[in-house]
């Protein structure tokens, strides 16, 4: 039982359980309820055989499959947090897949019954470390190493550890959006556009020698690590204390918005 | 024969009812190409650069393949063909080779919708201090020649513009654009990544594209083998080799000749010439799918519908669903299509190509690419249409989004896995 899937709707999950029962295939249901009931149905953990049985059945629409990983934390027993005005609504996970860059982590796309369009400028004001594109509109921010993007009526989460971790992320986004919305009269909405620099822009400001001092095999790999907030620019010793010091101001500038710089680095070059 | 755990991954897709419509990603090897290649994997394994008899046969096979490539592309002299490991190497060789051949010039012009194997080298050149201009496209995916003209500089080294876009199939008038560039300054080099159009459209390197200096192509996009391609280098174009090693390819590309791959590329080119008239049939099938989708499924946006396109490609966006969800559900019905671009670095940002074209927000996340080949049958197209309609409707029903697409019927009068009906499409 090393595979796990989830569903956009409870009915699909029930159908899938019936199919597995009828084939006599073992599975374990992992419930999002009680705490995460607003952002997930249930997940089914089963074998490759179970996955094949569901894939063969044209009546079943699962959201996708990832390798099972034991959750670091169980789903909390408490009831869901509720809000007087609910701009987020319920989330349905439409796509579940392994991360492209890191197959041990997962990503998902959820659709919302609510609408965040009016709340996004308030969320942008409250999250200066985020990246906001008012044209879409979309707000991108990091939750630890997880990358979250909020759209009008959809949310994407990338690099979550496993499904319970992803539910927790989604539910914290739900609570954040609703609590910011509840406080909106005391917040000046912000339409300031902030753009996350592409990883290639970080790469362009590295020595390009693939010296591996940072622990990565190539400068490009290191740029990707910095981009997803898993490393800091100062791990590049040739730039910070070596022959490539001339690249330092440009590197710090491009990384300023990534939320990866310790405070003393963010102020710029001190030397 | 296979005794390792890898065996389980080597079982071919046994579902004979599967529909493969992702030919812009890669295409099935033509049986004739495989026949051509087999011999060079077996007893005729020799190094084409060696001096004994069997090796000379391999060298002759390479010469023959060079003529086959030349014949497909209308080249008077097959020596402009340099065999490579595929279009990624060809694009790298064109850009870096041109840069090293003209060290005084420090500016590169390209488009914002190029393949990563052009954008990657451009970013690397930027890192080395080159200026790179990325020209935008309009909502039809077209490039404004006036913007190209305005962006040219006295120190422009190279203009690289793809012939056909991999996601939308939209064609750029590369011949006209290259002429414009040469008129500005004949010493500016011109490159076109023709990976998606060679073998799918009649192309004459020396005629339609008579001002193009470098052209990249890849065998596996038109029923040849993976790992085999070519870069066409116009005689006399200032250029330095990218892959340095032995004296193969007259010193233009080092490395032992990939005899099976080169022979396969040559045969694939010959077949493409023979089957050039099937493009009309492929284009008819594509138009039928487009008509079915726009006629039967509400909330549809066809990308590049009003632009000159590859005959085999349909890029379409469905309002309110996820392209990736659609690909996943169709896969369960043994229908294989693509979202068009792999999402990068764990992000789930939509395609840079469709973003550049300004596809509206409710549609862009529901974008997929359908790409046929000369092996695609009307029967397969019928099954694809039915499956698409059913899955799109189901995904919309499962989504909790409030602003449902107007006019989506609750149940479509068709079922998944239904047989083909000619009048369905």
Burial pattern B171-199, b for ≥16 Cβ within 10 A else e, equals bbbbbebbbbbbebeeebbbbbbbbbbbb
B326 with B240, same domain?
Answer: no
Residue B33 — pLDDT band, cuts 50, 70, 90? very high
- pLDDT for position B7: 45
> Is B414 within a domain?
no
Please check whether residue B180 is in contact with residue B109, taking contact to mean a CB–CB distance below 8 angstroms: no
> Is B101 within a domain?
yes
- pLDDT for position B242: 96
B328 with B264, same domain?
Answer: no
* Residue A159 in contact with partner chain B when CB distance is under 8 A: yes
B256 with B284, same domain?
Answer: no
Q: Which of B219, B254, B275 delimits the end of a domain?
A: B275
B73 with B167, same domain?
Answer: yes
B225 with B309, same domain?
Answer: no
Query: Where do the H-state alpha helices sit in B275-351?
Result: 278-296, 323-332
Distances (CA, A) of B5 to A4, A126, B10, B150, B397: 22, 51, 10, 58, 40
Q: Which of B275, B299, B328 delimits the end of a domain?
A: B275
Residue B398: which of A92, A100, A101 has the nearest Cβ?
A92
> Is B8 within a domain?
no
> Is B405 within a domain?
no
B254 with B281, same domain?
Answer: no
Residue A97: which of B324, B345, B402 has the nearest Cβ?
B324
B226 with B325, same domain?
Answer: no
For this complex, say whether ipTM is above 0.90. no
Asked if the model's pLDDT at residue B169 lies above 70, the reply is: yes
B359 with B389, same domain?
Answer: yes
Residue B210 — pLDDT band, cuts 50, 70, 90? confident
- pLDDT tens, residue by residue, B261-304: 999 999 999 999 999 888 899 999 999 999 999 999 999 999 99
> Is B21 within a domain?
no
B59 vs B7, higher pLDDT = B59
Q: Which of B247, B275, B303 delimits the end of a domain?
A: B275
Please check whether residue A153 is in contact with residue A166, taking contact to mean a CB–CB distance below 8 angstroms: no
- pLDDT tens, residue by residue, A219-233: 988 988 888 777 888
> Is B12 within a domain?
no
> Is B408 within a domain?
no
What are the beta bridge partners of residue A202? none
Mean predicted confidence (pLDDT) in B219-239: 96
Asked if the model's pLDDT at residue B345 lies above 50, the reply is: no
Residue A261 — pLDDT band, cuts 50, 70, 90? low
DSSP for B55-67?
HHHHHHHHHHHHH
Residue B413 — pLDDT band, cuts 50, 70, 90? very low
* Residue A38 in contact with partner chain B when CB distance is under 8 A: no
**Chain A contact set for B416 (CB, 8 A):** 58
Q: What percent of chain B has pLDDT over 70?
A: 88
B282 with B352, same domain?
Answer: yes
Interface of B with A in 334-363 (CB under 8 A): 342-349, 361
B216 with B282, same domain?
Answer: no
| Number of domains chain B is built from | 2
SS3 B254: coil
- pLDDT for position B312: 97
Interface of A with B in 117-146 (CB under 8 A): 136
DSSP for A96-161?
EEE-SS-TTSEEEEEEESS--TTTHHHHHHH-TTSEEETTTTEEEEEETTEEEEE-SSEEEEEEES
Element (H, E) at B111: strand B107-111
- pLDDT for position B358: 83
> Is B412 within a domain?
no
Q: What domain range includes position B179? A: 31-275
Asked if the model's pLDDT at residue A245 lies above 70, the reply is: yes
Mean predicted confidence (pLDDT) in B229-235: 96
CATH number of the domain where residue B317 is located? 3.90.1150.10
* Residue B332 in contact with partner chain A when CB distance is under 8 A: yes
- pLDDT tens, residue by residue, B85-131: 999 999 999 999 999 999 999 999 999 999 999 999 999 999 899 99
Min Cα distance A75 → chain B (Å) is 23
Asked if the model's pLDDT at residue B423 lies above 70, the reply is: no
B90 with B176, same domain?
Answer: yes
B262 with B296, same domain?
Answer: no
CATH number of the domain where residue B213 is located? 3.40.640.10
């Amino acid at each position: 039982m090393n595979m796990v899937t989830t569903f956009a709707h409870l009915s699909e999950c029930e159908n899938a359980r019936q199919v597995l029962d009828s084939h006599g295939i073992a599975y374990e249901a992992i419930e999002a309820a009680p705490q995460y009931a607003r952002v997930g149905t249930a997940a089914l953990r089963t074998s490759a055989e179970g996955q094949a049985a569901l894939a063969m059945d044209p009546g079943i629409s699962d959201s996708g499959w990832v390798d099972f990983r034991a959750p670091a934390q169980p789903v909390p027993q408490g009831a869901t947090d509720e809000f007087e005005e609910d701009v987020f609504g319920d989330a349905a996970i439409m796509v579940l897949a392994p991360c492209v860059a890191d197959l041990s982590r997962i990503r998902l796309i959820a659709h919302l019954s609510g609408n965040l369009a009016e709340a996004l400028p308030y969320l942008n004001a409250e999250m200066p470390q985020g990246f906001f594109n008012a044209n879409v509109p979309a707000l991108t921010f990091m939750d630890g190493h997880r990358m979250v993007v909020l759209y009008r009526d959809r949310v994407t989460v990338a690099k979550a550890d496993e499904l319970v971790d992803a539910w927790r992320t989604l539910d914290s986004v739900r609570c954040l959006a609703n609590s910011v919305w509840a406080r909106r009269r005391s917040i000046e909405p912000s339409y300031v556009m902030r753009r996350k620099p592409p990883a290639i822009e970080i790469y362009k400001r590295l020595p390009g020698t693939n010296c591996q001092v940072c622990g990565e095999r190539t400068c490009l790999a290191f740029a990707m690590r910095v981009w997803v907030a898993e490393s800091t620019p100062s791990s590049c010793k040739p730039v910070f204390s070596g022959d490539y010091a001339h690249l330092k101001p440009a590197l710090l500038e491009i990384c300023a918005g990534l939320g990866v710089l310790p405070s003393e680095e963010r102020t710029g070059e001190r030397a | 024969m296979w005794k390792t755990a890898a065996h389980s991954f080597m079982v071919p897709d046994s579902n004979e009812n599967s529909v493969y419509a992702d030919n812009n990603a890669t295409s099935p090897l033509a049986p004739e190409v495989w026949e051509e290649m087999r011999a060079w994997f077996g007893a005729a394994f020799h190094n084409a650069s060696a001096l004994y008899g069997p090796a000379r046969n391999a060298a002759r096979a390479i010469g023959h393949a060079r003529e086959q490539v030349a014949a497909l592309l209308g080249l008077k002299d097959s020596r402009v063909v340099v065999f490579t490991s595929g279009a990624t190497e060809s694009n790298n060789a064109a850009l870096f080779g041109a840069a090293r051949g003209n060290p005084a010039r420090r500016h590169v012009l390209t488009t914002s919708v190029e393949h990563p194997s052009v954008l990657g080298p451009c970013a690397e050149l930027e890192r080395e201090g080159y200026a790179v201009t990325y020209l935008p496209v309009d909502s039809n995916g077209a490039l404004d020649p006036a913007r190209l003209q305005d962006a040219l500089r006295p120190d422009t080294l190279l203009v690289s513009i793809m012939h056909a876009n991999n996601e939308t199939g939209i064609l750029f008038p590369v011949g006209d654009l290259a002429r414009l560039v040469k008129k500005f300054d004949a010493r500016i080099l011109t490159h076109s990544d023709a990976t998606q159009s060679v073998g799918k459209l009649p192309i004459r390197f020396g005629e339609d594209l008579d001002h193009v200096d470098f052209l990249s192509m890849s065998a596996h996009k038109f029923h040849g083998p993976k790992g085999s391609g070519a870069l066409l280098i116009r005689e006399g174009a200032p250029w330095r080799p990218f892959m340095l090693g032995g004296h193969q390819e007259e010193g233009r590309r080092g490395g032992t000749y990939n005899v099976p791959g080169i022979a396969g590329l040559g045969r694939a080119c010959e077949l493409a010439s023979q089957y050039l008239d099937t493009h009309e049939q492929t284009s008819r099938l594509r138009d039928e799918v487009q008509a079915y989708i726009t006629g039967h499924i509400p909330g549809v946006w066809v990308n590049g519908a009003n632009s000159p396109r590859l005959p085999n490609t349909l890029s379409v966006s469905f309002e309110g669903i996820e392209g990736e969800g659609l690909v996943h559900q169709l896969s369960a019905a043994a229908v294989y299509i693509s979202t068009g671009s792999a999402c990068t670095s764990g992000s789930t940002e939509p395609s840079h190509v469709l973003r550049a074209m300004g596809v509206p927000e409710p549609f862009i996340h529901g974008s997929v690419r359908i790409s046929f080949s000369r092996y695609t049958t009307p029967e397969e197209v019928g099954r694809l249409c039915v499956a698409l309609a059913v899955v799109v409707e189901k995904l919309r029903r499962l989504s909790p989004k409030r602003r449902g697409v107007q006019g989506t019927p609750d149940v479509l009068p068709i079922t998944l896995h239904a047989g083909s009906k000619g009048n369905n499409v």
